[in-house]
Amino acid sequence: LFSEEKGLAYEKITCAGSESYRYIRSAMIKKVNTAGWSSSKKYGALPEYQQTMLMNFVNNSVLGIYRQWIEEGKQQPVEEIIGITNRLVLGGVKGFFK
């Protein structure tokens, strides 16, 4: 939902295959991660390598689904995409099929 609320410019930067947007995209991701995870005591207690692994998993999974949704023309309601994404991220493949 955060990404959807940011509009067309955010979509273009997030979905662009060009490396020219890499710096901007990385800064945007870092800002979102900091806002979302900085207050978590459990996250803060993790060793740095585990924080990095967690962020890589979440960012690659969530942004991949977001990009797919954009590239396919936003055919499904954003609420449905958010629900599916949450099921996958929180429950994994096993949880998705429950």
For 9-23, what is each residue's pLDDT tens digit? 777 777 776 677 777
Which pLDDT score, from 0 to 100, does residue 74 have?
93
Q: What parts of the chain have a pLDDT lower than 70?
A: 1-4, 6, 17-18
Which pLDDT score, from 0 to 100, does residue 4 have?
67
pTM as predicted: 0.68
**DSSP assigned state of 46:** S
Q: Give domain limits for the chain.
A: 2-96
- Do 54 and 43 contact (CB within 8 A), yes or no? yes
Which pLDDT score, from 0 to 100, does residue 29 have?
77
| Residue-wise burial string across 33-57, b where 16 or more C-beta atoms lie within 10 A, e elsewhere | beeebeeeeeeeeeeeeeeeeebee
Which pLDDT score, from 0 to 100, does residue 98 have?
81
